[in-house]
């Protein structure tokens, strides 16, 4: 029985150059991200990530870390609930809430005529490795869409 893959693909020169260029761009992006993290660390002199188990037991945050205390007694800062914010302990309703928001957005966009509030183009901003609108997108509702009216119209 053969355990290795017997067919090997050999890229052409153009494909090899394209692969090398793509890997080079990814390497530059990765190095840039590492440099940004290092610069942030040098400026703040604190660890990049926080350990959620240790945050639970900080006496500054909780009086009795080994006992459940009622959360209505006082206001908590967002950092006190770090253990419940991600990973295996992520909120089980998050996927449903995101699905609900997508349905609401699809419903609004398909039933209402809207246009941008500003005539200036939206400035992109970096959000991790991706780009998104800088300060959000402000829209003006013009009225209800007719039944057979197309959702997307040609730009003038």
**pLDDT confidence band for 118 (50 / 70 / 90):** confident
List the structure tokens of 14.
């153009």
Q: What does the pLDDT read at residue 96?
A: 83
* pLDDT per residue as tens digits for the range 25-59: 888 888 878 777 777 666 666 544 555 555 555 56
Q: What does the pLDDT read at residue 1?
A: 44
* pLDDT per residue as tens digits for the range 55-83: 555 566 556 656 655 555 666 665 555 55
Q: Are 131 and 125 in contact (CB under 8 A)?
A: yes
Distance CA 116, CA 135 (A): 13
* pLDDT per residue as tens digits for the range 74-111: 666 655 555 555 445 556 677 788 889 889 988 888 88
Strand duo 130-133 + 139-144: pairing:
unpaired
**pLDDT confidence band for 3 (50 / 70 / 90):** low
Q: Which residues contact 65 (CB under 8 A, 6 or more apart)?
A: 56, 57, 58, 59
In angstroms, the Cα distances linking 103 to 58, 106, 112, 126 are 41, 5, 14, 26
pTM value surpassing 0.85 = no
């Amino acid at each position: 029985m053969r355990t290795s893959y017997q067919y090997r693909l050999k890229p052409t020169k153009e494909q090899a150059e394209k692969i090398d260029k793509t890997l080079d761009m990814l390497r530059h992006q990765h190095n840039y991200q590492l440099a940004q993290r290092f610069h942030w660390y040098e400026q703040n002199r604190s660890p990049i990530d926080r350990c959620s188990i240790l945050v639970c037991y900080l006496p500054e945050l909780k009086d009795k870390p080994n006992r459940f205390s009622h959360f209505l007694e006082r206001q908590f800062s967002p950092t006190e609930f770090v253990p419940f914010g991600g990973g295996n302990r992520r909120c089980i309703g998050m996927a449903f809430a995101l699905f609900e928001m997508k349905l609401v957005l699809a419903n609004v966009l398909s039933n209402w005529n809207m246009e941008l509030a500003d005539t200036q183009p939206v400035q992109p901003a970096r959000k991790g490795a991706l780009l998104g609108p800088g300060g959000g997108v402000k829209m003006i509702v013009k009225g209800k869409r007719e039944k057979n009216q197309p959702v997307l119209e040609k730009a003038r």
